[in-house]
């Protein structure tokens, strides 16, 4: 019979190997979350490792009642990222070059260079993606947190509410306000950069 997550978490409080299994289960999800909050691989790796070290040091205090283990980890990740930005004393923004490098590292669009049109399309897609990511970086921390949980982790409003300590309705409302602010930021950045997006 396979071990439930609750059993594994209970065992991880005293058994390092059990904690290792939890790490394997969640490392990719936490890395994704952190990567999109900091924008580069080096910091994402450093902070992901920090999240799990902090979780290891505090797991004896974790009480599973009411808060799933994954939600607890995302809360730690959010705090680690917020502290990181505070320590940096500036809001890091992704440069086009960084995103272009990232697109190469994590290719998502077809980037074949067999013909010039495909290259142009790939470049346009990378530029549009960089533009949107830059707009997201201008959002308040809490709103970035929400978008990453929703689109990177694919969580529902109820799950996000558990992590953010808000009701499902409050998350829905915050999400709507976030989209309005994001669109305004995109328009502002487009005006500044002379980029046009293919809006509806």
Partner 1 sequence: MSTRLTEADIAWLEARLREAFAPVVPRAEFVRAARQQLMQAPSPPSARAAPPTVLLATVLALLSLVGVLWFLRKLR
Task: List residues binding partner 1 (CB under 8 A).
Answer: 13, 16-17, 19-20, 23-24, 27-28, 31-32, 35-36, 41, 44-45, 48-49, 52-53, 56-61, 102, 106, 108, 125, 128-129, 132-133, 136, 147-148, 151-152, 176, 179-180, 182-184, 187, 197, 199-200
Among 105, 118, 124, 26, which residue's Cα sits nearest to residue 69? Answer: 26
CA distance 132 to 79: 24
**Distance in Å, CB of 99 to partner 1, minimum:** 9
Residues 6+ apart with CB under 8 A from 27: 48, 52
Q: How far is the CB of 179 from partner 1 (least distance, A)?
A: 5
Q: Which residues contact 106 (CB under 8 A, 6 or more apart)?
A: none
Closest approach of Cβ 184 to partner 1, in Å? 5
Given the complex with partner 1, which of 21 and 82 has the nearer CB atom?
21
For partner 1, give the closer residue by CB, 24 or 113. Answer: 24
Of residues 60 and 89, the one with the C-beta less far from partner 1: 60
As given in the structure block, the two tokens for residue 158 are: 């109820």
To the nearest whole angstrom, how small is the minimum distance from the Cβ of residue 58 to partner 1? 7
Q: Is the alpha carbon torsion for 119, 125, 130, 131 positive or negative?
A: positive
Closer residue to partner 1 (CB): 61 or 89: 61
Q: Work out how close the CB of 1 gets to partner 1 at its nearest, in angstroms, rounded to a whole number.
A: 25
Taking the C-alpha atoms of residue 160 and residue 68, their distance in angstroms, rounded to an integer, is 11
Place of tokens 């500044």: 192
> Any idea how long the chain is?
200
Query: Which C-beta is closer to partner 1: that of 89 or that of 169?
Result: 169
């Amino acid at each position: 019979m396979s071990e439930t997550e609750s059993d594994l978490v209970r065992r991880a409080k005293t058994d390092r190997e059990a904690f290792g299994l939890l790490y394997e289960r969640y490392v990719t999800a936490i890395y994704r979350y952190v990567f999109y909050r900091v924008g580069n691989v080096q910091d994402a790796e450093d902070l992901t490792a920090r999240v799990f070290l902090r979780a290891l040091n505090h797991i004896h205090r974790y009480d599973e009642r009411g808060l799933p283990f994954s939600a607890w980890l995302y809360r730690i990740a959010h705090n680690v990222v917020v502290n990181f930005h505070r320590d940096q004393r500036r809001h890091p923004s992704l440069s086009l070059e960084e995103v272009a490098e990232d697109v190469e590292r994590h290719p998502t669009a077809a980037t074949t260079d067999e013909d010039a049109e495909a290259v142009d399309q790939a470049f346009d897609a990378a530029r549009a993606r960089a533009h949107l990511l830059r707009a997201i970086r201008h959002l308040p921390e809490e709103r970035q947190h929400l978008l990453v949980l929703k689109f990177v982790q694919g969580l529902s409003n109820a799950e996000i509410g558990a992590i953010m300590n808000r009701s499902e309705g409050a998350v829905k409302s915050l999400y709507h306000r976030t989209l309005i602010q994001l669109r305004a930021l995109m328009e502002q950045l487009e005006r500044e950069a002379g980029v046009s997006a293919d809006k509806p």
